[in-house]
């Protein structure tokens, strides 16, 4: 009788799926955290890109970059304290040479004026991943023609 109960016990498969889930759950949770982290990284890249584009649009319309920090801070949805924003005016002659404005291209040459806005910040992933540094530098740049 006791041997029959033991045979039934060892043939039972009622806990097999629980054991399989217990073995796979850490891997599934790690993959979920990685997917969420990649989503945060992508969202931060888009925020920086939109901030640089809004700042470049403002400077191109106003033709002045004195308030570019304020405009960028208003367009950035989040903590702006660690975002570095730079803007430069660049002039290009018809031969393709770029120089800091103002520049004289020549008597029969034309000049195009551009604004270049760079936004950068450091992104920290939620957890440490093998082969990926703890701090990732994000940098986005937008160039827009002024006139």
pLDDT of residue 108: 66
pLDDT tens-digit readout, 78-123: 777 888 888 888 888 877 777 777 777 766 677 788 888 999 999 9
User: Which of 9-13, 35-39, 111-115, 130-134 has the least mean pLDDT?
Assistant: 9-13
Does residue 13 have a pLDDT over 80?
A: no
The percentage of residues in the chain with a pLDDT greater than 70, rounded to a whole number, is: 95
Tell me the C-alpha distance between 83 and 80, whole Å.
5
pLDDT of residue 114: 87
Confidence bin at 146 (pLDDT 50/70/90): confident
Give the 3-state secondary structure of residue 26. Answer: helix
The percentage of residues in the chain with a pLDDT greater than 90, rounded to a whole number, is: 24
pLDDT of residue 142: 92
pLDDT of residue 96: 73
Domain boundaries, the chain: 15-145
Q: Please give the C-alpha separations between residue 69 and each of 28, 34, 96, in angstroms, as whole numbers.
A: 42, 33, 30
Q: Please give the C-alpha separations between residue 82 and each of 4, 22, 46, 75, 138, in angstroms, as whole numbers.
A: 70, 41, 16, 15, 11
Tell me the C-alpha distance between 141 and 87, whole Å.
10
Tell me the C-alpha distance between 18 and 114, whole Å.
63
Distance from the first to the final alpha carbon of the chain: 96
pLDDT of residue 12: 67
């Amino acid at each position: 009788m006791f041997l029959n109960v033991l045979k039934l016990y060892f043939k039972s498969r009622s806990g097999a799926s629980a054991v399989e889930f217990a073995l796979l759950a850490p891997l599934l949770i790690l993959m979920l955290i990685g997917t969420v982290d990649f989503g945060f990284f992508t969202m931060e890249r888009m925020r920086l890109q939109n901030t640089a584009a809004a700042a470049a649009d403002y400077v191109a319309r106003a033709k002045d970059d004195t308030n570019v920090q304020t405009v960028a801070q208003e367009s950035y949805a989040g903590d702006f304290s660690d975002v570095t924003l730079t803007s430069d005016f660049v002039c290009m002659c018809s031969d393709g040479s770029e120089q800091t404005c103002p520049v004289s291209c020549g008597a029969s040459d034309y000049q195009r004026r551009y604004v270049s806005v760079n936004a950068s910040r450091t992104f920290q992933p939620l957890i440490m991943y093998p082969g990926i540094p703890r701090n990732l530098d994000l940098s986005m740049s937008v160039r827009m023609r002024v006139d």
